[in-house]
Chain A
Amino acid sequence: MAITKFFNEMTADDGSVRGHYAGYAAWLRETPLDRIERKRAEADALFHRYGITFAVYGEESGTERLIPFDVIPRIIPAHEWKSLETGLRQRVKALNAFIHDIYHNQEILKAGCIPAQQVLNNAQYRPEMQGVNVPCDIYAAIAGVDVVRAGEGEFYVLEDNLRVPSGVSYMLEDRRMMMRLFPELFARHRVAPVDHYPDMLLHTLRSLAPLGVTDPTVVVLTPGAYNSAYFEHAFLAQQMGVELVEGQDLFVREDQVFMRTTQGPRRVDVIYRRVDDDFLDPKYFRKDSMLGVPGLLDAYRAGRVTVSNAIGTGVADDKSIYPYVPEMIRFYLGEAPILNNVPTYMCRKPEDLAYTLAHLPELVVKEVHGAGGYGMLVGPASTMEQIETFRKYLIANPEKYIAQPTLALSNCPTFVESGIAPRHLDLRPFVLSGTEVQMVPGGLTRVALREGSLVVNSSQGGGTKDTWVLEA
């Protein structure tokens, strides 16, 4: 196995506590484990009462699960956050420039930086968006970029989520919960606040209103109460003080979107949609969609409504496009990329496929269009049978896969059944782009609760932690 050593967020290799964890480690030493256990149980009860849960399909109504919450925070020192933030802003700026370019002049394709068929034959490319202008040329107004750490200051971007990234409500609720459970910790640390995120989001959405609309009506569009992220949709609508709508609440008349209210139709200017492209408009995309609004695309193309994130952003966060992001940064911004990309082997290329097949036990293999931690192979953690099964998949459909070296994901002390033990984690900070690019210091830390697991997705038994960015 290639990996033996992991970067521990709290403790250095010589066993000493890293500076930014010193205060927390001292508190941990003087706090009895059973008190932490009590607090953890209290957190579970509170999350249930608050209804910070997700519905489980096919089970009796009212059956809802919690995403496990770990009471030990993940702490990031100010200087590390600063470079991370700069890198993220740079990356999202380039990604927005890329999407704009693809739906307009396609300069980057003409320049030969990315093979055109990679983009134009991609299922996420929406020809309906060709030539459509969107406010401020912003497509991914809300981006959730997954970042992992391999070593000291060594951050890698795993994935750019530019469609309907979720998780920000857990970032906010985890903080609220920590402050409630352990107020004394916040007196000891200067933790940068994150709770102004909804304000920032509203500001961003308003700044993207169609031309000529001065006091825009913003709504959040949800697939409904049975969607697994419904809590987040309702939470954000409430925190922003805007309506939470479903497709059935909206209609389009003469290229203008309206919502059905008790006082008759009311115009809608900005839609923060949490419904996938495919389901947005049954007139153009999936005909069987009950979640969308017929004619929405017409209104959108006429510039009468803003849909955020824009339709067709998936063309930039697809795993087959990911390897080109550093190239985009150089091409559009003329800058050197600040954050690392994970080296990626594109199995559609014969030489990459050959390498992948020869190194399967050390690689992570992912489906190009996969998400949620499904359909992937983590070589070092897999049996020979699993590896051989994947070998067959790869040979049969090489273009469906990419491969990456297994990163030595950093870990952080986590409260598990056997006590406190290190578990691997990632970080999803959120980048908001409107007339300006904005971020709150922090993000959602996801932690793989199973020992040795490198998969942090909640669908695969992952939990969350409060993320503290310390103020300098």
Chain B
Amino acid sequence: MLSRTADHLFWMARYMERAENTARILDVTYRLSLLPQNGEETESMWAGMLKIMELQDAFLIKHPAFTTEAVLEFMILDRDNPGSILRCLRATRENAHAVRGTLTSELWETSNATWLKIRGFTMTKIMENGPGDFFEWVKYRSHLSRGVTIGTMLQDEALRFIRLGTFLERADNTARILEVKYLNLLPGSHGDAHMADYYQWSALLQSVSAFEVYRKVYRDQMTPLRVAELLILRADMPRSLARSMKEVYSNLTWVSNARSAETERMAGELEAHLRLGDIESIFEGGLRSYLEDFRERIFDLGCRVSDDFLIPISA
């Protein structure tokens, strides 16, 4: 497969996954913002979310304060914000367009139709019924795109690069979703003091479609430790770091080439750490620094994938 084609497929998948996870992060933060609290708390919550998404500075150039309306506008339809859902869906579509001949027509049309539709949205329309419906729509389009990918694409290299992009992005994004919530958790703490707020945990779980899963797996009350364990270490949880890394590793070994041995080793190491990891010791070392370190490694891995496969081997 052409390196350029692989590059477009990889980024097409990453942007679609990013659009979905952005909707998820916004959804959980929005729900939390509705809990009884003062305006200052709400603003600091949005500020924290933007910080973890590395968009705080860009936001402050356009808006004076972290109000719910301003953040939603910035993160949903802002054409100048490369992290907005609109921009993610546009990038998805542009990458798909560049390789439309490699995609099945169903997959291309799904991506194109999503883009045509979001161009018709306005913030007024989105806020009419609350943004929840819109977030649902984004998730639904992402589900559809994933389903069409798996249901129609030949299981060849193209599919592997798409899956690689999806799971590398998801690993990063799930880590960020966790960080938003565990922002205030101190190293060494098990966060028991926060258990008073059942709604916060349930909102977090719901944002990654894991509320029922939690119940099924633990059949017990919610604790921050278990929530973290579910989203970090449980390989049977589809959005967890462990699951994402397992997929990254297996897709990477599938597309393996003469230059990629070290990248595969690093991915394998990260995957093994998660497979054999223990949540108690992660909490001992501090969850936040653990997640930050994880994201750094994911970033490195992304760069290495580019170098090994996507940037053409020079003549």
Contact = CB atoms under 8 A, between A and B. Distances in A.
Interface of A: 48-51, 61-62, 225, 233-235, 237-238, 243-246, 248-249, 251, 253, 258-265
B33 interface: no
B257 A62 contact: no
Nearest to B257: A263
Given A49-B113, A253-B315, 8 more contacts: A235-B101, A248-B4, A260-B2, A260-B315, A261-B2, A262-B6, A262-B309, A265-B315
Contact of B313 (A48, A225, A265): A265
Contacts of B255: 262
A51 B2 contact: no
Residue with the greatest number of chain B CB neighbours at <10 A, chosen from A234, A260, A261? A261
B289 interface: no
B283 to A, nearest CB: 40
Interface string B254-286: 010110000000000000000000000000000
B98 A225 contact: yes
A62 B99 CA distance: 15
Contacts of B315: 251, 253, 258, 260, 265
Interface string B112-144: 110110010000000000000000000000000
B78 interface: no
B209 interface: no
Contact of A62 (B2, B90, B98): B90
Contacts of A260: 2-4, 312-313, 315
Nearest to A63: B119
A225 B284 CA distance: 51
A48 B113 CA distance: 8
Interface in B277-307: none
List the 8 closest pairs (A to B, CB-CB), nearest first.
A260-B312, A238-B101, A234-B101, A251-B315, A237-B101, A262-B309, A244-B101, A51-B112
Interface in B66-124: 90, 93-94, 97-102, 105, 108-109, 112-113, 115-116, 119
A243 B90 contact: no
B313 A51 contact: no
B60 to A, nearest CB: 26
A51 B97 contact: yes
Given A238-B101, A249-B4, A264-B257, A49 B116 contact: yes
Interface residues of B, number: 33
Interface of B: 1-6, 90, 93-94, 97-102, 105, 108-109, 112-113, 115-116, 119, 157, 161, 255, 257-258, 309-310, 312-313, 315
Nearest to A235: B101
A219 to B, nearest CB: 9
A153 B64 CA distance: 74
B56 to A, nearest CB: 26
Given A249-B4, A262-B157, A62 B109 contact: no
Contacts of B161: 262
Nearest to A264: B313
Contact of B100 (A61, A234, A246, A253): A234
Contacts of B4: 246, 248-249, 260
A50 B98 contact: no
Nearest to B95: A225
A246 B109 CA distance: 23
Contacts of B97: 51, 225
Contacts of B98: 225
B78 to A, nearest CB: 15
A233 B102 CA distance: 12
Nearest to B111: A51
Contact of B2 (A48, A225, A249): A249
A402 B215 CA distance: 82
A230 to B, nearest CB: 8
Given A49-B112, A235-B101, A259 B2 contact: yes
A62 B117 CA distance: 12
A261 B109 CA distance: 26
Q: Among B90, B116, B119, B309, find the residue whose CB has the most chain A CB atoms closer than 10 A.
A: B116
Contact of A61 (B3, B94, B113, B310): B94
A248 B102 CA distance: 18
Contact of B115 (A62, A237, A248, A262): A62
A260 B309 CA distance: 10
B263 to A, nearest CB: 13
A73 B201 CA distance: 62
B21 to A, nearest CB: 23
B103 to A, nearest CB: 8
A50 B109 contact: yes
A62 B94 CA distance: 8
Nearest to B98: A225
Nearest to A220: B101
B99 to A, nearest CB: 8
Given A260-B4, A261-B3, A262-B1, A51 B109 contact: yes
A62 B312 contact: no
B312 A249 contact: yes
B3 A262 contact: yes
Contact of A51 (B102, B108, B157, B309): B108
Contacts of B94: 61, 225
Contacts of B5: 243-244
B1 A261 contact: yes
A48 B108 CA distance: 12
29 contacts: A48-B116, A49-B109, A49-B113, A61-B90, A62-B90, A62-B93, A62-B115, A233-B101, A238-B101, A238-B102, A243-B1, A243-B2, A243-B5, A244-B99, A244-B102, A245-B2, A248-B312, A249-B3, A249-B4, A249-B312, A253-B315, A260-B3, A260-B4, A260-B313, A261-B3, A262-B2, A262-B309, A262-B310, A263-B258
Contacts of B105: 50
B11 to A, nearest CB: 14
Interface centre among A48, A263, A264 (most CB of B within 10 A): A263
A273 to B, nearest CB: 16
Contacts of B6: 262
Nearest to B105: A50
Nearest to A50: B109
Contacts of A237: 101
Given A62-B93, A225-B97, A243-B2, A264 B258 contact: yes
A199 B108 CA distance: 22
A253 B98 CA distance: 26
B97 to A, nearest CB: 6
Nearest to A251: B315
B6 to A, nearest CB: 5
A51 B100 contact: yes
B170 to A, nearest CB: 22
**Centre residue among B1, B5, B101, B157 by max chain A CB count within 10 A:** B101
B119 A62 contact: yes
B90 A262 contact: no
Contacts of B90: 61-62
Contacts of B119: 62
A246 B101 CA distance: 13
A237 B102 CA distance: 9
